[in-house]
Structures are given as C-alpha cells and as structure tokens.
Amino acid sequence: MKTPPSLITGIGSVTPFGPLAGLLPSTSIAPRVITAWPTPGLRHAFLVEPFRPAAVVPGLKTRRLDRLSAWALVASSLALQDAGVDLNQMDRSRIAVVFATSFGCVELTEAFFQSAATNGWPSTDPITFPETLSNAPAGHVALFHQLQGPNLTVSSKSFAAESALLQAASLLRHGQADMAVVIAGDTLTQAIYEWYEAAHMLDPACFNEEPLSPSTEFIPGEGVVAMVLEPTGKRQTRSYAALRGGHWASGGDAQSCIHQLLSGAAPPRILCAGNGAPCASSSETCSARKIAGPDAVILPRQPVAAGLADTGALFHLLLALSQRPGSGEAIMLGTADVSGFAALHLELP
C-alpha cells in the first residue's frame, strides 16, 4: 500500500539492553546463562535483567501483572516521553494502541495452569484469569495513559510486529486515530524455552559458550519495543523514520512487491528482520541481495532481535536505526521459515 507517510516520533524499549527511551547504545549483547529456572545443563537466552518498573516509570503498579504487561507499560511510557507527547494536551480518545504478541501473557497462563494442576479446575485463581488474555497488556496501556482510541492486539506467523505497525498506520490513514502507540514483544518462560528445545529449534550457541557468528540461527529472547506513530504534519517534532507503506503476506513474491512499493526502483538500503526460525538462516540476506541494487547497504538480522521470533521486527528496526544507517529510502525485509515476507518501506532522515 502506498500512502502519505506516518512518522515514528518516539521509541521506548525493555530488552536485554534494559529499559531505555530512544535509540540503543552501540554495545553488543551476548546471550546470558539461564538461571531463572532449572535447566538440564548450560542453557543460554537473550533475557531481560529484572528491574523495578516503578523505578523507571514513577507511579506504575505492576505487582499483579504478567511481565509482558509490565514491560508494555514501561516501553509505551518511555516511547511517549521520548516523543515529547504531553497527553494532557492531547485528545486521548484519538490515540490508538496496537500491540503485537505471539504468546501473550504466557507467565500468568502458566500460573493459571499451575493453579488448576494444584487445586483442580473448579478452584483456579480468579485474579490471574483476566491477566492471561493476550490483550491484557494493551488494555493496561490504555488504562494507565487513559487512551480511549482503538485498542488492538494482533498476532501473525512470523510478522506480528510488521502487521501491527501497518495496521496502526492504517488507523491513522483512515482517520480512526491521530496517534498510535505500537508495541511488540514477548516474554520467555521455561515452558516456551523447553518447547523450542524439544522441537530442535535451538542454535548450538544455546548450549555452549560459543561467540555469536553470522551463522548463528535461533537463540530465544524476550523484550518489548514500543514506537509512537503519528501522521505527517500533525505535530512539529523530530522523527526517527517515516513509514511510507508496506505489505506482509504468507506467500507470494517479495521482489515484485518491493519494486511496486518503490515504484520500480531497486532499494538502496535493506534492513533485514529474521523471524528466528532455524531454517530462516540468512534467507533474509539472500533475498535482500536478490532484490537490492549492486551498491545497496544490507544490514543483516541481529540474533538478539531474532530471538523474539514473530514479534522481533520492531526490535530489528530499533537496532537498525540505532546503527544510523544513513538517510534516504530503505526497505525493512522479513522473510519466514516456510514462505511469506514482510516489507516496510521507510524513509530515514
């Protein structure tokens, strides 16, 4: 879809880099040894260090929430702050929240199963149940900031974050909101990690003290990234990038789609966003080379963001923007393990 661009005016994140507003530091992050749960041997993952949300966002109460809800609250608060948004000066009924997740509030879902296993299904925990719903984080963000616009939670195989970003842009385009807080992420739990392990999806680096290499495939990770999206010209503010359009699909031809987005031109710059599945190994880079012009800059996918699988694209975008890849048009390309692609058409300042 080709339309007037939306601007990314604020960024907040809770990732293995910690809770941060704006771009990320230029340090690299290594996977950590898992100590949060018992493992059958050495196991690594890209984990978020525990922190107190109220220390980052004063007044935030998260005691009964899943970490996903808590991080969504922190990341969205940091993004709005980074965008210089004074919510008291805004019509909050015109601000949307669009949240992308693959597993939802899986920690409290597991806790609910635990209460069923311990006490039986007739005696489960009433406080936990509503917090297991996938849209609980987006609901809490709306409640905390008093945002009364459309409030969506979406999930899409491989491209949940891209889908969220494009649907948020669609809300702005159709006048259904004047601003959108787009959030994407997941938490990692023992049960999810063990599922990846049982499905033989883990990279050897998950088991050893090996340094990361370009061939590193999938190391599970966690985190949440939030971005504030606004229509061009609504507010005088700086932007990290303009989202000109994009497309996601579970099949089809990425190359012709991208050339359509760029009106026939080859992309000068491609930011790769892998979905983290093992068989996606560098397929983005291969696709990117086929699509890009001979002098194109190609930023490969980052294992720390690929660890978020379906919801990693906002994190990939944040990492790419943090590398300051130069100004001009860019395509953020994601490819899936079986088929499908997502392409975001960006204009970098």
Partner 1 sequence: MIDAKKTIVVTGIGVVSPYGIGWAALRDGMLAGKCCLQPATDLYPGFQGTLAKVGELPQLPESHNFSRSDKLAVLAARDAMSGFNGVSETLRASGIIMASTVAGLSEIDAEIARGAADWYRHGGLKRASSFSVSCVGAAVGKHLKIDGPNCTVSVACASGAMSIALGANMLLDGAAPMVLAGGSDALCPFTLSGFNSLQALDPQLCRPFDQNRQGLNIGEGAAVLLLETLAHARERGAPIHAVLRGWAMTNDASHPTAPRNDGAGLATCIGQALERSGCGIDEIGYVNAHGTGTPLNDIAETHAIERAFSGRATPIPVSSTKSYFGHCLGAAGALEAAITITAMQSGALFPTLRLTNPIESDSVDYLRGELRRVPLPVAMSVSAGFGGSNAALVFGRLSA
Strands 328-335 vs 269-274: parallel, antiparallel or unpaired: parallel
Residues between 157 and 176 that touch partner 1 (CB under 8 A)? 157, 159-160, 163, 166-167, 170-171, 173-174, 176
Q: Of the listed pieces 20-28, 120-128, 270-278, 327-335, which binds partner 1 according to CB under 8 A?
A: 120-128
Contact set for partner 1, span 290-319 (CB under 8 A): 310
Choose which of 6, 134, 287, 335 interacts with partner 1 (CB under 8 A): 134
Compare residues 24 and 188 and give the one whose CB is closer to partner 1: 188
Structure tokens at 108: 């409290």
Binding of partner 1 at residue 216 (CB under 8 A)? no
138: contact with partner 1 by CB under 8 A: yes
Do residues 270 and 285 lie in contact, with contact meaning Cβ atoms separated by under 8 Å? no
Part in contact with partner 1 (CB under 8 A); list of ranges 41-49, 135-143, 221-229, 296-304: 135-143
C-alpha 1/C-alpha 36 separation (Å) is 43
Which residues inside 186-205 make contact with partner 1, applying CB under 8 A? 190-191, 194-195, 197-199
Main-chain dihedrals φ then ψ at residue 123, nearest 5 degrees: -125, 45
DSSP 117-135: HHH-GGG--TTHHHHTSTT
* Contact indicator for 229, 289 with CB cutoff of 8 Å: no
117 binds partner 1, rule: CB under 8 A: yes
For residue 102, what are the contacts with CB-CB under 8 A and spacing of at least 6? 155, 160, 186, 309, 310, 311
The answer to whether 132 contacts partner 1 (rule: CB under 8 A) is: yes
Q: With 0-12 CB in 10 A as exposed, 13-18 as middle and 19+ as buried, what is 191?
A: middle
Contact of 43 with 203, CB cutoff 8 Å: no
Among 54, 90, 124, 266, contact with partner 1 (rule: CB under 8 A): 124
- Output phi, psi for 228, to 5 deg: -95, 125
**Euclidean distance between CA atoms 36 and 22, whole angstroms:** 28
Which of 118/327 has CB closer to partner 1? 118
Binders of partner 1 among residues 2 to 61 (CB under 8 A) are 3, 40
Min CB(247)–partner 1 separation in Å:
6
Which residue in this structure is represented by tokens 């507003």?
21
Distance of closest approach, residue 123 Cβ to partner 1, in angstroms: 8
| Beta partners for residue 137, in sequence order | none
Residue from 31, 149, 274, 307 touching partner 1 (CB under 8 A): that is 149
Stretch 319-348 residues interacting with partner 1 (CB under 8 A): 339-340
Under the criterion CB under 8 A, does residue 255 sit at the interface with partner 1?
Answer: no
Is residue 224 a contact point for partner 1 (CB under 8 A)?
no
Whether the CA torsion 205, 28, 98, 113 is positive or negative: it is positive
Q: At residue 280, what is the residue type?
A: A
User: Is residue 63 at the binding interface for partner 1, with CB under 8 A as the rule?
Assistant: no
Contact criterion met (CB below 8 Å) for 333 and 285: no
Asked whether position 154 contacts partner 1 by CB under 8 A, the answer is yes
The minimum distance between CB 234 and partner 1, in angstroms, equals: 19
Q: Confirm or reject binding of residue 242 to partner 1 (CB under 8 A).
A: no
Minimum Å gap between C-beta 171 and partner 1 is: 7
Name the minimum Å distance from CB 172 to partner 1. Answer: 11
**Selected binder of partner 1 within 4, 130, 204, 349 (CB under 8 A):** 130
